[in-house]
Structure 1
Amino acid sequence: MNPSMAEIGERAELVVMREAPMGVFLDAGPHLGDVLLPNSDVPKGTLLGGKVDVFLYRDSEDRPIATTRMPKVMPGEFGYLEAVQSTDVGVFLDWGLPKELLLPFREQKEPCEVGRSYVVHVYVDEVTERIVASRRLSRFFSKEEPPYIEGEAVELLLYGKSDLGYKAIINNEMSGVIYHDSVFRRLHAGEKTDGYVLKVRDDGKIDLSLYPPKQYLVEELEEKLLRELEARGGFWHISDKSPAEEIYKAVGVSKKAFKRATGALYKQRKIVIGPDGISLAPR
C-alpha cells in the first residue's frame, strides 16, 4: 500500500524512517504521519529505509501505532471474541493485540459478561477513527441482492437462534438460516463451518444447509459407505432404522441422505440391508 493511503484499521507495508529508544518510526503518509512500531514488534534485521508489513490502530492514548501482529478479526469482518474486562464505557474484547478492543455499551444488544465470548462486527468509527466492535450485527449485513446460486458452497459463522433455526453469517457479508429440522448435531454461536445455499428467496432471504448438494450425497456418499464397509470386514451395525443422531455421528450426513445412498447401493446390488445393519453383497 502507498503510505499516502495508509489508514487506521488496515495493513500496510511502510518504510522505516528513523530509530528511537522505544522502537522505530514508520512513514504512514501525510494523514497519520510517522507512526511508532514498538521495539517488541520490530523484526530482527530491520534497517533504515527498509519496509515492514504492519497493522495500524490507536493505542490507549489514542495515538496511531503500528504492530507486526495481526488481530483475530480485521475491521470490516465478523468474529467471535472473548470479553476480558468491564469498564464504565463498555467491555473490552481480546482480539490478539496489546490494546484490547472496545465493545461500547451502545453497541451491546444486552449486557455482556466477562469470560463469555460474543459474535461481533469490527469496524473503524468514521468520526473518532477508533477501532470498535458491535453486537448490532444486522446493521453491517450487505443490503445488495444475494449473489449466491443454489448449491453454492459458502463459509458460515453461526451467531444465534430463532424460532425457525440457526442464524448464520454467509461469507462475512450476509445472513441466512439453517432450519432446525435439517440439523443433526449441536451447534453454537461463534462456530465456523462450511455450508451450502439451499435457496435464495424472492424477498432476499437465504436458506442454508450444512450438507452438500444431492448429487454429492448420491455419488460420493455411496463410495464412502462402501469404503467403510470394506474397512469393517463387510458389515456395519447401522441402518436406516438407526436414530438420526447416531447416523450423523457415524457418517456425518442426515438420515434422509443416508437412506437415499443405501437405497441406491441396494438397487445396484452392492449391499444388503438387514434389520441390524448393512453388509456388502456377496460377489
Structure 2
Amino acid sequence: MIKVGQYNTLKVIRAVDFGVYLDDGAQGILLPKRFVPEGLEVGDEIKVFLYHDGEERLIATTQQPKAVVGDIVKLRCVNATPQGAFLDLGLMKDIFVPAAKQITGMRVNGDYLVKIYIDEQTGRIAATERLADALNNDLVQLKELDVVDLTVQRRSDIGYVCIINNQYTGVLHFNEIYRNIQVGDKFQGYVKKIYPDGNKIDLAAGKPGYKRVEDETEKVIRLLKENNGFLPYNDKSNPDDIYDFFAMSKKTFKMTTGNLYKQRKIVFENDGIKLV
C-alpha cells in the first residue's frame, strides 16, 4: 500500500518520453523525467516521496523534503493569502497551511514550527501550526533515562518547552542548557524525570549519565593533543570559560576530567590539566 507524504519503494512498470510510471496497484504513479536517475529500467525499484502536484495528481519525486507526514519542523513562509499560507518544504510544490490552522497569521519570510499531516477531505499533505492537537502527555510511553529526539517549541520562564519524539512535551530547564538554542532546533536528549501524573516531564540534553561523559572524553583528549598536551583549565576555572572552550558545563567537565584522571590519561596541575 502506498503512503502519501512518505517515502515509498516502488517498481518501475513502464517508461514514457516524459518519465517513468511506478507500480501503485493501479495505473501507476508518474516519476517525471527530471527526477529519473540515469540507468533506471523497467523492473527496477526506486525510493521516492509521494505527494500531489499543482494539478492535484499524485506524483513521485526523488527530491528529499524537509519533513514527512508526522514530523514537526520549522519551515519558511513563501506566500500568504487570506485562505492560508504556503511554506517551503523543499519540493517543486510548497505545502499549504489553511488559515484555520494558523495561530497568529503567517507572513512571508517568517519561520514557523508546524506539523505535517494528511488532510482528511483532500488526501493531500498539509501543515498546521496548532501543535497542541498533536501532543498529549496523558499516556506517556517513556521512562526515565530514555534517549529521545527533541524539537524546541518555545521559551518559557524556566527553560524551553520541547517536543519529545513528535508526541509529547517536556521542559529543558535553563540549567541543563549549555549552548545557544532556538525554536525549531532539533537534537538528542534524555528523560531526566517523569512526574507522577505524567503531565510534566523534565529533560536534559545529550546522553544520560556516564554515556554522556564518555562522549566528552574524546573531545578533551583531542583538545589536549591540539594544544601540546596542556590546557589551562581545572575545577577552579570559571564555568563560562569552560563552556566557551569545551562547549560543556563545568559539572560535565569535572566528571570527564575526573574519569580521565582515574584512567591515568591526564594529571592535574595547579594551573590546568596535562596529558600523560
Q: How many residues align?
A: 274
1:166 equivalent in structure 2: 160
Query: For each residue in 1:87-116, what CA deviation from the matched residue of structure 2 results, as whole angstroms up to 9, or x when unmatched?
Result: 332221111211111122211122223223
1:47 equivalent in structure 2: 41
1:249 equivalent in structure 2: 244
Distance (Å, rounded) in 1 between the aligned partners of 2:180 and 2:252: 19
Is 138-147 or 124-133 further displaced after alignment?
Answer: 138-147
* Structure 1: runs of 5+ lacking an equivalent: none
| C-alpha displacement of 1:211 | 4.2
- Check the 8 A contact 1:184/1:244 in 2, yes or no: no
Matches of residues 208-227 of structure 1 in structure 2 within 5 Å? Answer: 208-216=203-211, 225=220
Among residues 18, 23, 45, which one is paired with 2:19 in the alignment? 23
1:149 equivalent in structure 2: 143
CA distance 1:58–1:111, change in 2 (3 Å): same
Distance (Å, rounded) in 2 between the aligned partners of 1:44 and 1:222: 45
Among residues 194, 197, 200, which one is paired with 1:203 in the alignment? 197
Query: For each residue in 1:210-239, what CA deviation from the matched residue of structure 2 results, as whole angstroms up to 9, or x when unmatched?
Result: 244343466675776566556544542234
Distance (Å, rounded) in 1 between the aligned partners of 2:98 and 2:262: 61
1:108 equivalent in structure 2: 102
Distance (Å, rounded) in 2 between the aligned partners of 1:156 and 1:122: 16
Q: Secondary structure of the equivalent of 2:75?
A: strand
2:6 equivalent in structure 1: 10
Distance (Å, rounded) in 2 between the aligned partners of 1:6 and 1:260: 50
2:185 equivalent in structure 1: 191
Q: Secondary structure of the equivalent of 1:29?
A: coil
| C-alpha displacement of 1:166 | 0.9
| C-alpha displacement of 1:13 | 3.2
CA distance 1:129–1:267, change in 2 (3 Å): closer
CA distance 1:252–1:151, change in 2 (3 Å): farther
Task: Give the letter aligned to residue 96 of structure 2.
Answer: L
Residue 120 (str. 1) matches residue 110 (str. 2): no
Is 236-245 or 101-110 further displaced after alignment?
Answer: 236-245
Rg comparison, structure with higher value:
1
Residue 79 (str. 1) matches residue 73 (str. 2): yes
Among residues 31, 38, 43, which one is paired with 2:32 in the alignment? 38
CA distance 1:181–1:15, change in 2 (3 Å): closer
Distance (Å, rounded) in 2 between the aligned partners of 1:199 and 1:264: 25
Query: For each residue in 1:181-204, what CA deviation from the matched residue of structure 2 results, as whole angstroms up to 9, or x when unmatched?
Result: 222321111212221221122122
CA distance 1:226–1:60, change in 2 (3 Å): closer
Among residues 122, 137, 145, which one is paired with 2:131 in the alignment? 137
Q: Secondary structure of the equivalent of 2:90?
A: coil
| C-alpha displacement of 1:141 | 2.4
- Check the 8 A contact 1:217/1:261 in 2, yes or no: no
Distance (Å, rounded) in 2 between the aligned partners of 1:100 and 1:167: 28
| C-alpha displacement of 1:207 | 0.9
2:61 equivalent in structure 1: 67
Is 176-185 or 243-252 further displaced after alignment?
Answer: 243-252
Cα-Cα RMSD: 3.1
Is 143-152 or 128-137 further displaced after alignment?
Answer: 143-152
- Check the 8 A contact 1:81/1:93 in 2, yes or no: yes
- Check the 8 A contact 1:185/1:245 in 2, yes or no: no
Task: Give the letter aligned to residue 18 of structure 2.
Answer: M
Task: Give the letter aligned to residue 138 of structure 1.
Answer: A
CA distance 1:176–1:18, change in 2 (3 Å): same
Task: Give the letter aligned to residue 61 of structure 2.
Answer: T
Distance (Å, rounded) in 2 between the aligned partners of 1:220 and 1:18: 50
Task: Give the letter aligned to residue 87 of structure 2.
Answer: L
- Check the 8 A contact 2:233/2:273 in 1, yes or no: no
| C-alpha displacement of 1:8 | 2.3
